Chains A and B, each alone.
Chain A
Amino acid sequence: MYKAILIDDEPLASNMVKEYLDEYKEIEVVAVCRDGFDGVKAIQQYKPDLLFLDIQMPKINGFEMLELIEQPPAVIFTTAFDEHAIKAFELHATDYLLKPFSQERFDKAMHRFLSQVRPGAEQSADGQAKNAGQTQALLETAALSPEQADRIVIRDNSNIRIIQVPDIIYIEAADDYTRIVTASGVWLKNKTMASFEKQLPPQTFVRIHRSTIVNVTHITQLHPHDKENYTALLKNGVKLTVSKTGYAKLREVLGMR
């Protein structure tokens, strides 16, 4: 038995997926959600094996919701997104269904999912790892889309928060997480420094150190620290270490020649 959750802001769209799923006795629909917020809660509660996920939804879109999930399950996107936009994600998702879709097309997607999770077809643990990798790559691609580029969605306990990119003062690595520092608080996000570096606008956000990305508009002073490193003083009084290569990047962005 596999557990599935449907997340779509249009009830009729969920109804159709449910109807198509009737033929699959091994799939149990444990929850139907209308937005990403409910989605996150339901996923935590039920730990499903499969998600049917719409992309355009209230407040946070499907990709942003997935970012908030620790170990995302297999995902089948259901969307009316135009085709070339979704093409970029094709490789990474279990499948994507363009609305409106037929039962035949739906069956194909289910076949893909089942062949991934069914024991014997592939090592289950392997399948899981592959899934996680796929989803990670997918989310990194999605974060670059114009809709998402200027905000970051984070979860603190049961609250979901949307941070506007200009509000970020700096970001630093913290074990497996990254710590996002803003004027209104400090938040943790499960996302790599490298993918932040890719997403954030390079003319404002500079990776000044292996473990720090800073919003250059917050820097007030820069002075040598030791032979190798520099120190950046921020408006809020925080001092950050700037590596040699980080200093070179800073100089370029700030136009100091």
Chain B
Amino acid sequence: MPTVPISNLTLKILTGVFIYLVFQLNFFSVWQAGFGWKVALTDAGINLLLQLLTARVIRNIFRFYQPKVSQFWAVIGACAIFAILLVIGAKFLLVLAVPGNAGYAGFVDRSTGIRIGFSILLFCCLVILNLIWNMLRRERENNDRRHETERLSREAELFKLRQQLQPHFLFNSLNSISSMVVSEPKEARKMIEQLSTFLRTTINRKDGEMVTLSEELEQVERYLTIEKLRFGHRLQTLIVAADDCRENRLPPLLLQPVVENAIKFGLYDTLGEVLISIRATCIDNELLITVNNPFDPDTSSRKKGTGFGLSGLQRRLYLLFGRQDLLDTETSNNQFITSIRIPQAYVQGNTDR
């Protein structure tokens, strides 16, 4: 909502009216002084031209220059000096424009003071109008930017939600359950429970709160249990975590996308059995988690680069810890290895927040 209570158009009209009023005043003053309408018109006309020119110059200057509050009086002062110079210049022009009229020349001389006064008044008003004008424009730009930012963050939010819910995984799991309902009702019920707990945990986890390694691994395990049911014997998993690391903390759902990636490339890039292994150790106040999955260098490495869709994770780690070196990927013997390091000192300090 604009805090300046007038619109751009109002400002333009105001400027026009202002200049016209000064012109009218100028004309009638000279006329009243007894110099005939021709001289009065010349006088007022020349002044009008100079004023319009000045208005234009002011507009152009303030289009790019926004004075600070402390410079306000300096700007008004500069404006006044400019007004005085312009009147002196106008004086010469006026005398030239009405040649051979000593009475008029004297009148111009005598009225210099009042002309300067009006000139200053006019220019100061123009400057102030321009400043308001600029404020309006900036406010409009800020508004646009804010709307754009809001839109982007809304989209990001939606994207995150979709990512969390992973429709493809969800629908395929439901399909598997549907298939088991008749043949293996007990298994089906177990799977529904697993899926529900997985979804509940995913939805409930907040971005800011750290979770323990045990909690995160439990969640990953639920996910893998469902995937194993879906893919049968093709998928084997191994989770190894050192006991003394289990209370280490990490951001929630950090491991999830890595494991999903491992499954995706492991299962969809190769044929036959696939072993996904997750190992967690802690050294030097750092929690190190590595995820291994097989992949086919011929079909995947070049296409997806080394990123493997992990740039989102890299970004998240950077936002959380301010470091770019926490995510590492390497390939050896058709194995893709993702390593994540979570600095524990930082995490501990942050959990109290």
The answer to the question of B199 belonging to the interface, with a C-beta cut-off of 8 Å to chain A, is: no
Identify which of B183, B229, B271, B302 gathers the most chain A CB atoms within 10 Å of its CB: B271
Chain A neighbourhood of B231, CB < 8 A: 9-11
Residues of A contacting B172 in the complex (Cβ-Cβ under 8 angstroms): 10, 13, 80, 99
Asked if A95 is at the interface (CB within 8 A of a chain B CB), the reply is: no
Query: Which listed segment binds A: B115-123, B149-157, B173-181?
Result: B173-181
**Bound CA–CA A208/B179 (angstroms):** 52
- Judge whether B230 is part of the interface by a CB distance below 8 angstroms: yes
Q: Which segment, of A56-64, A69-77, A247-255, faces chain B?
A: A56-64
The CA-CA distance from A56 to B264 in the complex, in Å, is 10
Q: Chain A interface: which size bin?
A: 20 to 34
Q: Mark A58-94, 1 if CB is under 8 A from B, else 0.
A: 1100000000000000000000111000000000000
Contact of B332 with A by CB under 8 A? no
Contact A11 B299 (CB under 8 A): no
Known: A11-B232, A15-B183, A162-B299. A100 touches B269 (CB 8 A): no
Contact A100 B271, CB 8 Å, known A11-B232, A19-B182: no
Instruction: Tell me the chain A residues, 26-45 only, with Cβ under 8 Å from chain B.
Output: 34-35, 37
Given contacts A80-B167, A100-B175, contact A12 B303 (CB under 8 A): no
Give the residues in chain B near A10, CB-CB below 8 Å.
172, 175-176, 230-232
**Docked pose: A19 CA to B230 CA in angstroms:** 17
Give the distance in Å from the alpha carbon of A9 to the alpha carbon of B273 in the complex.
12
Q: Which of A11, A100, A150 contacts B178 (CB 8 A)?
A: A100
In the complex, B107 has a CB within 8 A of chain A: no
At the interface, is chain A mostly helix, strand, loop or mixed?
loop
Q: A166 CB to closest chain B CB, in angstroms? A: 8
Minimum Cβ distance to chain A for residue B241 (Å): 29
Contact partners of B234 in chain A: CB under 8 A: 9, 34
Q: Please name all residues of chain A whose beta carbon is closer than 8 Å to the beta carbon of B159 when the two chains form the complex.
A: none
Using A11-B232, A12-B176 as known contacts, say yes or no to A164 and B302 having CB atoms under 8 A apart: yes
The distance in angstroms between the C-alpha atoms of A98 and B170, with both chains bound, is 12
With A162-B299, A164-B303 already in contact, the answer to whether A58 and B268 are too (CB < 8 A) is yes
Closest B residue by C-beta to A164: B302
B298 adjacent to chain A (CB < 8 Å): yes
1/0 per residue B163-194: CB within 8 Å of A? 00001100110111111101100000000000
Do A13 and B168 touch across chains, with their CB atoms under 8 A apart? Answer: no
Q: How far is the CB of B227 from chain A (nearest CB, A)?
A: 10
Which A residues are CB-close (under 8 A) to B230? 10, 12
A47 at the interface (CB under 8 A from B): no
Is B299's CB under 8 angstroms from A58's CB? no
The 6 listed contacts between A and B (C-beta, < 8 Å) are: A10-B232, A57-B268, A58-B271, A80-B167, A80-B168, A101-B175
Besides the known contacts A82-B167, A101-B175, 12 further A-B residue pairs in the complex with CB atoms under 8 A apart:
A9-B267, A10-B172, A11-B231, A13-B172, A13-B176, A16-B175, A19-B182, A34-B234, A57-B268, A58-B267, A100-B174, A164-B303
User: Residues of B with Cβ closer than 8 Å to A?
Assistant: 167-168, 171-172, 174-180, 182-183, 229-232, 234, 267-271, 296, 298-299, 302-303
